[in-house]
Structure 1
Amino acid sequence: MKVREESSRIIKPSYEGYPPPTTNHIPLSVFDKVTFDTHIAVIYAYRPPTPPNITLELGLQKALSVYREWAGRFGKDDNGEPVILLNDEGVRFVEASVDSTLNQAMPLKPSESLLSLHPRLEGVVELVQVQLTRFTCGSLAVGFTAHHLVADGQSTSNFLVAWGQACRGLEISPLPYHDRTIFSPRDPPHFEFDHRGVEFMKKKLDKIYPLHDDFIYQDQEIVVHKVHFTLQFLSKLKAKASSMNGSNKPYSTFESLIAHMWRATTKARALSPFETTQVRISVNGRTRLNPRVPNEYFGNLVLWAFARTKVKDLLREPLPYAAKLIHDAVEKVNNDYFKSFIDFASYKVKEEDLSSTADVIESVLCPNLEVDSWLRFPFYDLDFGGGCPYIFMPAYSPIEGMLFLLPSFIGDGSIDAFIPLFRDHLAAFKQICYSIE
């Protein structure tokens, strides 16, 4: 698939009436500062008929007038603290074409070819970038990149839905909640949990040092494998995972699937029985904090749960063992934990010169697993006027052990999982990924 770039320019918000001042800024919250300092890219594909590029451009300008942060830039305030400058300098808008049909390019597999469907992620000052790639059949691929320090998956998907609404001439609804100053520490602060070694670490590791010995695996090829789990399989998996839960509430489909993927990946890796393995799971704080933060909150509001065990126990014990580890770990990231994090991040990080563990650069997570779930986000609701997308998927990101979960485009409750593995482990994983033990 050869993609030809036809134009690249900056577009800015379009306001009704007088534009707002461009001298204001928004401080990054403690949740923004602790997350991944990188661009995240996703790929959409639409079958014809699709609206012309000008419709998408004008809709984006309108959406940016409501979500001004995306059209800004990173900067510092008078105290040297990181902020988002609301200067309306705009987002990158790229138009491209392919001399083939979408069918000829199908299936769009998680491979390096996807990188040509969105702008580059490194060395970029724009906080959002969009690439519209037209196929000869009239199909449209939309590559979207957004900086994670600005917003998490919930907020980014809300923005994408708003972009679609603007393209269809609708009022943007619901409107985003922009106030990032709501996470005030308690007086006096209460450090109920130790956040050192969890969200924060000493700066001596810095961003250039991996947590694991990546050089051990430097000659290993990483491939991103897509697995489709049908609704029937997921129902059986959930029943199996909850089979030893007694009269308690069954584990969720999410917990059951993560437990299964954790065990299958660990078995495929052929790890030492006495090695410790962990799975890191994103937890959305909007429903955890008391008082509850609305889903419309725009920014980052995610912490992580960690489930850990020895390899021998994970593989020797049945599926409910792993499901309980995951359930219990997620349950612990509750209102008390979020409040403790706010206090710790507000007082201790600068005092102890700590940095975020999310800053560590890793291309290999083995023996661990990290889960990025988009199952509850409205990514599939991005409708520019020609209907919902035919394809939605993460861009190519070959970080071994970084698991993405998406609802299948079929819309029947099935789930697609994207799991990067070493090629040497792929055959074993394929043999066991559909086996319910």
Structure 2
Amino acid sequence: MNVRVESSRLVKASYPGHPPRTTLYVPLSVFDKVTYNTHIAVIYAFRPPTPSNSTVEKGLSRVLSEYREWAGRLGKDPEGNPVILLNDEGVRFVEASADTTLDKAMPFKPTAALLSFHPSLHGVAELVQVQLTRFTCGSLMVGFTTHHLVADGHATSNFLVAWGLASRGLAIDPLPLHVDRASFFVPRSPPRLEFKHRGVEFMTKNKFDKGKDNPLKDDIVVHRVHFTKEFLHKLKAQASLGSKSNKPYTTFESLVAHLWRLVTKARGLDGCETTHVRISVNGRTRLSPRVPNDYFGNLVLWAFPRAKVAELIVRPLQFAAELIHDEVAKVNDGYFRSFIDFANSGVVESENLVPTADMGKSVLCPNLEVDSWLRFPFYDLDFGGGSPPYYFMPGYFPVEGMLFILESPIGDGSIDAFVPLFRRNVDAFKNDCYALD
């Protein structure tokens, strides 16, 4: 299959009235600064009938008037602080064609071939990029990339839904909540640093392990595994045996516990080694008072359940599920407030600390990161073709140990996990994938 780029241009916001000033900027919040400084890509597939490229483009232009940040650029304010410049320079819009039908191209495997369906993630000034790829059968692929410093997955999925509404000529509802990010999360007076943040969200630069950063990419395979609804029910029941609270663990907690044990075992690690999982926690529901779901920006911290390799593998599934449940529960309002106080205390600058969220590493072993998209409305994107997305998946991210979990496009409650592993560990992972304790 060949994908040929037909055109590439910038799309700018269309305003119903007088356009706003282009000299404004949005300071990054402490949550923006601590997240991944990188572009993220997702890929959609739609079967015909599909809307025209011009319809999708007009919808994009319209929605950018409500999400100005995406049409801006990263920069600095007069004091040198990182900001989003609201200069309306626009987003990259690429039109392409594939020389085959969608059915012949399917199923899309998580390989480097996916890179042809979206613009490059590297050296990009635009904060959003879109590529529309037309197949000979009339099907449409939408490759979408965004810069993570601007917004987290929750806010980005809201934008995608709004883009669909705008493309169909409907009102954008709800509208994004734009605030002064830097002053919205105000530190307490006096500050209370009640939790450890060095080595959690921040670390010193000399702690980077450069020895593991550059393996041959061919050594890493992204394996997609499908978990049926029936299997997930059994897994949840197994994980919840002997729960301390006498309440079942969630499907997410049970599945992450299962994957943590699977990957750890497949890696063949020394039993005395410690392994942890990095799990995103949405602060919108954790902070008190709650932050509206429509807040546009980053509002995520992480839980880090950890265990000795031998204990994780030998003890039953509920041991791992309990670790995950307890650590996620600790990332509460008090923890978020402590982080805000720490990040505003001047310690980060004086000690030259950097975020631990680092996409520059190719290998996370002995640790994992789990990015869950289970609660995001990605499948609600509707450009007006009359049917939901036929397929949705993350782009190609061959980072060993960085897992993506999302609802299966089948729509029956099943879940797909994208699991990057060293090639030598894939067979061991597959052999135990559906085994229950």
> TM-score higher than 0.5 here?
yes
Q: One-letter code of the match for 1:193?
A: F
How many residues align structurally?
A: 433
Q: Provide the secondary structure at the position in 2 that maps to 1:66.
A: coil
Q: Quick one: distance in 1 between partners of 2:319 and 2:166?
A: 47
Q: Quick one: distance in 1 between partners of 2:245 and 2:305?
A: 23
Does structure 2 conserve the Cα–Cα contact (< 8 Å) formed by 1:224 and 1:419? yes
Q: Quick one: distance in 2 between partners of 1:361 and 1:38?
A: 9
1:198 matches 2:196: no
Does structure 1 conserve the Cα–Cα contact (< 8 Å) formed by 2:303 and 2:328? yes
Does structure 2 conserve the Cα–Cα contact (< 8 Å) formed by 1:12 and 1:88? yes
Q: Provide the secondary structure at the position in 1 that maps to 2:74.
A: strand
Q: Which residue of 2 aligns with 1:21?
A: 21
Q: Which residue of 2 aligns with 1:250?
A: 248
Does structure 2 conserve the Cα–Cα contact (< 8 Å) formed by 1:210 and 1:360? no
Q: Which residue of 1 aligns with 2:63?
A: 63
TM-score (norm 1): 0.97
Q: Quick one: distance in 1 between partners of 2:113 and 2:300?
A: 31
Q: Quick one: distance in 2 between partners of 1:279 and 1:22?
A: 42
1:393 matches 2:393: yes
Q: Which residue of 2 aligns with 1:184?
A: 186
Residues 257-304 of structure 1: CA distance to partner in whole angstroms, max 9, x if unpaired? 000000011111111111111111010000000010011000000001
Q: Quick one: distance in 1 between partners of 2:244 and 2:305?
A: 21
Q: Quick one: distance in 1 between partners of 2:401 and 2:211?
A: 12
Q: Quick one: distance in 1 between partners of 2:7 and 2:299?
A: 35
Residues 286-345 of structure 1: CA distance to partner in whole angstroms, max 9, x if unpaired? 000001001100000000100111111001100000001101110111100000000000
1:129 matches 2:142: no
Q: Provide the secondary structure at the position in 2 that maps to 1:58.
A: helix
Q: One-letter code of the match for 1:297?
A: Y
Does structure 2 conserve the Cα–Cα contact (< 8 Å) formed by 1:274 and 1:310? yes
How far 1:204 sits from its partner (Å)? 3.6
Q: Quick one: distance in 1 between partners of 2:99 and 2:50?
A: 17
Residues 346-401 of structure 1: CA distance to partner in whole angstroms, max 9, x if unpaired? 11212322111113621011111100000000000000001210000001110011
Map 1:268-417; keep pairs closer than 5 Å. Answer: 268-347=266-345, 348-359=347-358, 361-386=360-385, 387-417=387-417
Does structure 2 conserve the Cα–Cα contact (< 8 Å) formed by 1:211 and 1:360? no
Q: Quick one: distance in 2 between partners of 1:376 and 1:34?
A: 22
Residues 178-205 of structure 1: CA distance to partner in whole angstroms, max 9, x if unpaired? 1113101111111001200111112344
**Structure 2 alignment gaps of length 5 or more:** none
Q: Quick one: distance in 1 between partners of 2:279 and 2:76?
A: 31
Residues 28-86 of structure 1: CA distance to partner in whole angstroms, max 9, x if unpaired? 00000000000000000000000000000000000000000000001111211000010
Q: Which residue of 2 aligns with 1:10?
A: 10
Instruction: Tell me which moved more, 238-247 or 411-420.
Output: 238-247
Q: Provide the secondary structure at the position in 2 that maps to 1:287.
A: coil
Map 1:74-223; keep pairs closer than 5 Å. Answer: 74-179=74-179, 180=181, 181-205=183-207, 209-210=208-209, 213-214=212-213, 218=216, 221-223=219-221
Q: Quick one: distance in 1 between partners of 2:64 and 2:418?
A: 30
How far 1:212 sits from its partner (Å)? 6.1
Q: Quick one: distance in 2 between partners of 1:73 and 1:427?
A: 44
Q: Quick one: distance in 2 between partners of 1:326 and 1:143?
A: 33
Does structure 2 conserve the Cα–Cα contact (< 8 Å) formed by 1:129 and 1:144? yes
How far 1:211 sits from its partner (Å)? 6.4
Q: Quick one: distance in 1 between partners of 2:79 and 2:403?
A: 38
What RMSD, in angstroms, separates the aligned Cα atoms of the two structures?
Answer: 1.2
Does structure 1 conserve the Cα–Cα contact (< 8 Å) formed by 2:221 and 2:420? yes
Q: Quick one: distance in 1 between partners of 2:221 and 2:156?
A: 27
Q: Which residue of 2 aligns with 1:39?
A: 39
Q: One-letter code of the match for 2:299?
A: L
Q: One-letter code of the match for 1:384?
A: F
How far 1:97 sits from its partner (Å)? 0.1
Q: Quick one: distance in 2 between partners of 1:251 and 1:401?
A: 23
Q: Provide the secondary structure at the position in 1 that maps to 2:344.
A: helix
Q: 1:185 to 1:256 in 2, by over 3 A?
A: same
Q: Provide the secondary structure at the position in 2 that maps to 1:268.
A: helix
Q: 1:360 to 1:44 in 2, by over 3 A?
A: closer
Q: Quick one: distance in 2 between partners of 1:11 and 1:278?
A: 42
1:426 matches 2:426: yes
Q: Provide the secondary structure at the position in 2 that maps to 1:228.
A: strand
1:224 corresponds, among 222, 225, 229, to: 222
Does structure 2 conserve the Cα–Cα contact (< 8 Å) formed by 1:165 and 1:384? yes
Instruction: Tell me which moved more, 278-287 or 348-357.
Output: 348-357
Q: Quick one: distance in 1 between partners of 2:358 and 2:367?
A: 17
Instruction: Tell me which moved more, 409-418 or 58-67.
Output: 409-418
Residues 104-143 of structure 1: CA distance to partner in whole angstroms, max 9, x if unpaired? 1111110111000000000000000000000000000000
